[in-house]
Amino acid sequence: MNYLKLVILVLVIILAVSFAKNNTQPITISYYFGLETPPFDMYLLIFIPFFVGIVVGTLVGFGSRLNLKNTVRKLHKSKGELEEKLKMAQEAQISGEYEAPALEEGTTDTEVISTT
């Protein structure tokens, strides 16, 4: 599989170089009010936005990855706290010290246990 990726990468690079070689005519881009860019090769009109897109996509992906890492860290902390509470409840139940949680005011046992 790695060889296939390498072959595809080499083909893409060869195509990019041949595209750049065939499109070296100098061009200028005209804006409103008579503003123009300095002359540059035509292939840069394709390559510059492409590489800017790669950089922006990488930065956005990096931000998303940091957000997900923070979420995972919070969930692991919460999981640890819940496991500790569960362990304490199981130990209390085994030793006979377990008390059923108090019902909220205005509820009855049948409302809490009902299966309908």
pLDDT per residue over 10-34, tens digit each? Answer: 999 999 889 888 888 888 888 888 8
pTM summary value: 0.53
Mean pLDDT of all residues in 88-105: 71
- Residue 106's CB is within 10 A of a number of other CB atoms, namely 6
User: Is the per-residue pLDDT at 112 higher than 60?
Assistant: no
Q: Give the CA distances from residue 39 to residues 15, 26, 29, 34, 52, in Å, rounded to whole numbers and listed in that order.
A: 24, 6, 8, 15, 20
Q: What is the pLDDT of residue 113?
A: 53
Convert the pLDDT of each residue in 31-73 to its tens digit. 888 888 888 888 888 888 989 999 999 999 999 999 999 999 9
Predicted confidence band of residue 102 (pLDDT cuts 50, 70, 90): low
